[in-house]
Amino acid sequence: IKLTRDAELYIDDEFTGNLLAKIKKGLSKRDTGVPSRFLFDKNISLHFLKFLRESLSLEKEDLIPGGKYHNFSDFFSFPNPGKNSLEFPLMPQLKHSGIEKHKNIFDAIREKDRALFFPYHKYNYVIEFLNRAANDPAVVSIKVTQYRVAKDSAIIKAMIDAVNNGKEVMVFVEVKARFDEESNIQWAEEMEKAGVKVFYSFPGLKVHAKLALVARIENGKEVKYSYFGTGNFNERTAKIYSDIALFTMNEKLTNEAEQVFKFLSGEIVNYEFQHLLVAQFNMRKELLKLIDNEIQFAVEGKEAKIILKLNSLEDKKMIKKLYEASAAGVKINIIIRGICCLVPGIKGISENINVISILDRYL
């Protein structure tokens, strides 16, 4: 048998009082949440099933018959019974030749922007970037966002090393990352003890950005190096999640990354971003503008195409705009990981939209 409880953190009011304390209180109640699903062996005796239903206060709709085994996450570590054909062939992670030719990752970034594609590239470069920053005498400050933290996080250890080495370290920790709330809070408190300036979640807002900003003194002048990524600062999941990352010292981008961190630390409440697309500021407006550009190309008889890779697509305004683009003749390919509320293939509405979800060795 397996009982699943409602694990949602029901916080009545995020805007008053201590949000962190409310989240901690909600976590303490997670194990006693309302039952939402009860899986059981279909061969169980009716007498015993009735006993379980009454003891656990289950409704009829909570009951789902099945097989004998229900903890499917165990299959991640299921041993190979002896057939190599059941496993994916080994795919060693690639070295980045542009970074590898330099002894110092800062030199590699200074030469030119460096793009990485995980899990095909080694994630070690991200850890090296932060470790070197933590131990480099020329580095004066490090700022990082954290959404989902690895169990034994090399990133967090680098931040603690940095503050112990006299760097100014700021970390924004999103404690509303579902099912990682407790882990994130524990790591945040560990960093605070070491002297890291830790900032926590905003009321009514979830910070999903993956940013790092390193300030370094070079030739008597402060210069900034930034990391922008689509994936978490998590060396474990970086081996199976498909993500893109960019190392850069382009001032247009590093200066705006600095503004993001000022917002996260409460120094500013508004900013006119010109280069980064930042949710709550300009992301929706700029995305709609980009789609309108493709619509105009289609109207003019030019090639018009959109490729989107998303976790989910539920936003009504964005779906409406994509329908408009399709009707104008824009070819749209969408790769969705989870929920998709857009319906493709409807004549006159979405016939130019193709939606797929990739189920393979990498997410």
- At 280, give phi and psi (nearest 5°): 80, -10
Q: Please say whether the beta carbons of 136 and 107 come within 8 A.
A: no
Helix axis angle, 316-328 relative to 283-299, nearest 10°?
Answer: 10
Burial (CB < 10 A; 0-12, 13-18, 19+), residue 143, is buried
Cα-atom radius of gyration of the chain, to the nearest Å? Answer: 24
Residue 259 DSSP code = H
Residue 121 DSSP code = B
Q: How far apart are CA 201 and CA 207, in angstroms?
A: 7
DSSP alpha helix (H) spans, the chain: 19-28, 46-55, 97-100, 105-111, 124-135, 154-164, 181-194, 251-264, 283-299, 316-328
The position carrying tokens 């998303």 is 310
Q: Please say whether the beta carbons of 236 and 151 come within 8 A.
A: yes
Is residue 96 among the annotated active site residues?
no
Q: How far apart are CA 3 and CA 334, in angstroms?
A: 35
Q: Is 108 left (phi over 0), alpha (psi -120 to 50) or beta?
A: alpha
Q: Among residues 47, 102, 208, 275, which one is catalytic?
A: 208
- Please identify every residue annotated as catalytic: 208
